[in-house]
Every structure is written in C-alpha cells, then in structure tokens.
Amino acid sequence: MKKSISIPNFENDTQAANFFDTHDTTELLSQTTAASLSFPKPTHKVVVELQENQWQKLLKIANSRKLSYTKILERFISKKLISR
C-alpha cells in the first residue's frame, strides 16, 4: 500500500520546485483549492508625433521625475481625461 503524502510548507520557490519535480501531483489534487485569477484589461498602443521641442520638453520632464517618457504621457493623458 502506498503511503499518503501531504503538501508541505515551503520556505522558498526552490524547495517547492524540488518537491513538485519529485512527486506525483495527481496524489495531491484533493489537497488543493481552485485559485481565483484576474487579468488586467488590455491596453492599446497609439502613435503620437511630436515636434522636436515638444519631445525635448517631454524628455526633460520625464528625467526630472525619474520616469520613462511613456509613463509621463500616460499620466498626462489620464489626468486630462479624468478632469473632463
């Protein structure tokens, strides 16, 4: 008769990976619960043409805030859309 095993508590992902690599997980299914998953809403990419002086100003603002220019644009657009 096969000994029943249970899922132990793991200190890290490496221990978990080693356990599941060396055990038949079909024996453990009764000890699991379904996970609730949610996925982010899809985003849309847009192309914006800027004049050189606008581009330089955007880069200057982004650098001063230590953010990417895309993140700054997202914030500018979100702020403007919320205020409407």
Pairwise CA distance, residues 53 & 29, whole Å:
61
At 2, the pLDDT band (50, 70, 90 cuts) reads low
Which residue type, as a one-letter code, is found at position 55? Answer: W
Task: Show the tokens assigned to 82.
Answer: 């919320």
In tens, the pLDDT along 24-75 reads 888 788 888 889 999 999 989 999 999 999 999 999 999 999 999 999 999 9
pTM: 0.49
What is the torsional sign of CA 56, 61, 67, 71? negative
